[in-house]
Amino acid sequence: MGFTDPAHFSRAFRAAYGMSPAAYRERHDPSAAEGSRSRQTRSDTAEPEGPC
């Protein structure tokens, strides 16, 4: 995205999405709420692949 200042990125992110980057991570990545650094990738999940 080209932001050199993390604080500026956070402000721009909050303006665009209405929440902080940390809140977004927690909402969209449940493992982030647990403080886990190891995140599952789509291929690691037990969900079957196929049309929805």
| pTM across the whole model | 0.52
Residue of 44, 14, 49 whose CA lies nearest to 29: 44
Task: Read off the pLDDT of residues 1-52 as tens digits, 9 standing for 90 and up.
Answer: 588 999 999 999 999 999 999 999 988 887 765 554 555 555 555 666 666 6
Q: Residue 15: what pLDDT?
A: 96
Q: Residue 43: what pLDDT?
A: 55
**What tokens does 12 get?**
């721009």
Q: Residue 29: what pLDDT?
A: 83
Q: Residue 35: what pLDDT?
A: 56
Q: Residue 2: what pLDDT?
A: 82
CA distance 16 to 6: 15
